Amino acid sequence: VHETILVVPCYNEAGRLRPERFEDFLTSSPHVRILAIDDGSTDRTPDLLRELEKRTHGRFFVQRLAQNSGKAEAVRQGMRTALAEHPTYAGYWDADLATPLEALADFERVLGDRDHLLLALGSRVLLMGRTIHRSPLRHYVGRVFATAASLMLGLPVYDTQCGAKLFRGGEETERLFAEPFLSSWVFDVEVLARLVELRATEGGDRVEDSLYELPLRSWHDVPGSKVRPRDFARALRDLARIHRRYRPRARLRRG
Ligand SMILES: Nc1nc2c(ncn2[C@@H]2O[C@H](COP(=O)(O)OP(=O)(O)O)[C@@H](O)[C@H]2O)c(=O)[nH]1
Ligand SMILES: [Mg+2]
């Protein structure tokens, strides 16, 4: 039997949060707990989260950050709390449930069947027979960014930015979240750059052999995103900062 803790960053999500979905999912998945990080929300989010905490007898639990710190820091704090409980798996999942919670079982199966994997990443690949709903503009802008991220990392990763990721618990994963991220916009890429750095300096399997991208069966862009067009420029700037700090491609070639 395994235990999974999912971190859900929440910043002013009162309009989008669907508490009944979380409650139903926890009822049908007794091995899962969900840690919501309330990132200094100023709307009714804290009330909704507290209510869920009560209804689920703490299997949905809440950590509140005193002030808004951004998704990267919220996820990082949540992952530290989650990993301190030594779950089999810990991951993070967008509060809008663009990736439905039902997909978690697929992620767990990927890690459960392959002991050598550290991380399963949701991947929004448009394939026939799947329902991946994303506006064409966001799809193409996202593809440009994802391609730049892949080239910078030197890894054949298709979609670094999907909000659903599951890690195997343990010391290496703890180290990936130990220090604050440079980038509040593209910390997912920074996690991968950190892994490349860690493996290059301390050995271990090739990073390529430790990651598994899982093409999602279903993904829906949920209206009300806080990501704005100007964030694309910030994301590219942050990509350059990550490159300067970690130089992941050079490390991979040497390793
Ligand atoms: N903690 C925190 N979470 C955020 C912030 N902005 C977005 N999020 C969370 O990040 C996730 C995805 O946000 P969303 O606006 O849907 O972004 P998109 O799906 O990438 O367009 C959700 O769980 C949000 O609550 C923020 O400033 N702080
Ligand atoms: Mg979203």
pLDDT tens digits, one per residue of 9-29: 999 999 999 999 999 999 999
pLDDT tens digits, one per residue of 95-120: 999 999 999 999 999 999 999 999 99
**Ligand 1 touching residue 71 (CB < 6 A):** yes
**Residue 3 near residue 90, CB atoms below 8 Å:** no
pLDDT tens digits, one per residue of 184-199: 889 999 999 999 999 9
For residues 55 and 8, what is the distance between their CA atoms, to the nearest angstrom?
17
For residues 48 and 46, what is the distance between their CA atoms, to the nearest angstrom?
6
Give 226 Cα–ligand 2 centroid separation in angstroms. 8
Give 200 Cα–ligand 1 centroid separation in angstroms. 31
Give 1 Cα–ligand 1 centroid separation in angstroms. 31
Find all residues with CB under 8 Å of 244, minimum gap 6, and list them. Answer: none
pLDDT tops 90 at residue 252: no
Closest CA to 233 of 168, 162, 144, 167: 144
Find all residues with CB under 8 Å of 212, minimum gap 6, and list them. Answer: 110, 111, 114, 117, 119, 120, 121
pLDDT tops 80 at residue 72: yes
Smallest CA separation from ligand 1 atom 12, residue: 94
Give the pLDDT of residue 228.
85
For residue 76, what are its two tokens? 């990082």
**Residue 63 near residue 36, CB atoms below 8 Å:** yes
**Is this model's pTM higher than 0.95 or not?**
yes
Q: Write out 44-79 in H/E/C secondary structure.
A: CHHHHHHHHHHHCCCCEEEEEECCCCCHHHHHHHHH
Smallest CA separation from ligand 1 atom 18, residue: 225
